[in-house]
Amino acid sequence: MSLRDIGLLYSFRNPEYNRLPWDEFYRNELDLTVYAEELGYDTVWLTEHHFIDDGYSPSLFVIGGAIAAKTEKIRIGTYIVLMPLHDAVFVAEDAAAIDIISGGRFDLGLGLGYRPGEFTGLGISMKERGARLSEAAPLIRELLAGEEVDHEGKFYTAKNAKLTPPPIQNPLPMWLAARADAALDRAAKDGFHLAGIGAPEHQQGYIDALKRHGRNPKDYNIAQLVVGFCAPDTQSAWDRCSDGLHHMLKNYMQWGIESGDITGEAAWDVDNLVPSPDQMRQNRQADFFGQATYIGTPDEIYEGLAKYLKSAPEEGPITHLVVMMDLPGVKPEYVRESMKLFAEEVAPRLRAL
């Protein structure tokens, strides 16, 4: 096994059904990231969406800068920046600034985005998203490397542009999110690490693409995002997190329908596709992008995640585990207990696999 990094994902979601005042909520979330460092997690990952009722993090670079200023050791990464919605030069500058503030602790993850409302709201065509990402990612890498760039493309311009100040890390680690074959090929062709979601078999497509483009899979990292929540007993874990888990899964299902990724019968039966909170508590089961959720005692979570990690292709193992634990609306004290139990009783055993 080659697991080198265990991190936590924070989406800064504050749903109406259990809403805190926004200033209190943001302070709590930032405090959780400091606590993650104290517990020995390797990375805090940040994500992004726009125009969401629960406030889903719309400004991950600002949040990343705040975390960088409040922490000393833990890495900070984006999982992911919705690249087609941003200017490439500004993304490079923001990444460099966070890397400097943090003392060289930043990872930049980029992806396509898929919610039509975000593209419509910002006046950008979804049809262009693949081409925008393909143009932006190499351009950002050039800028972060400190090179003077003279680029005039279809979507982005950087004329005689040199990033000042440059990031501390050179190269600064860059990731691309991918599940579909075309996206996996894009990440491999341009030599970016893989930010994955879903079943580990997607990794094989990335590994095959790396080889096809003459690259050694051992030179690249593979991250996978999972849902995990820990409590002293199984029922307490489900009781504490089921409302937040249902809120999150129903959102993702609805967004998948809006994007056209989910069609047919499923597109009009979203309520039956996502178990209710009571059903989750009773059945102790829910799926996340085709994979299990890891909810229960430390022993149960370890057994599930160990099996998951071992199912990855041998030539391209999961190097970075990204755990979505801070579920929307879950009480901060429950999240803290989950973080502590996972850090003390699950993470050491996973690292030892």
Nearest to 225 by CA among 147, 132, 111: 111
Give domain limits for the chain: 5-242+290-351
Write out the two tokens for 279.
Answer: 């059903």
240-256 pLDDT per residue, tens: 999 999 999 999 888 87
315: tokens are 């030539």
pTM of the model as a whole: 0.95
Confidence of residue 198 (pLDDT cuts 50, 70, 90): confident
Closest CA to 89 of 186, 155, 187, 178: 155
Distance CA 195, CA 225 (A): 8
| Number of Cβ within a 10 Å radius of residue 41 | 22
Cα–Cα distance, 225 to 290 (Å, whole number) = 12
User: What are the pLDDT digits (tens) for 116-144?
Assistant: 999 999 999 999 999 999 999 999 999 99
Q: What is the pLDDT of residue 2?
A: 86
The CATH fold assigned to 5-242+290-351 is TIM Barrel (3.20.20)
Q: Which two tokens stand for residue 289?
A: 């992008």
Q: What is the pLDDT of residue 12?
A: 98
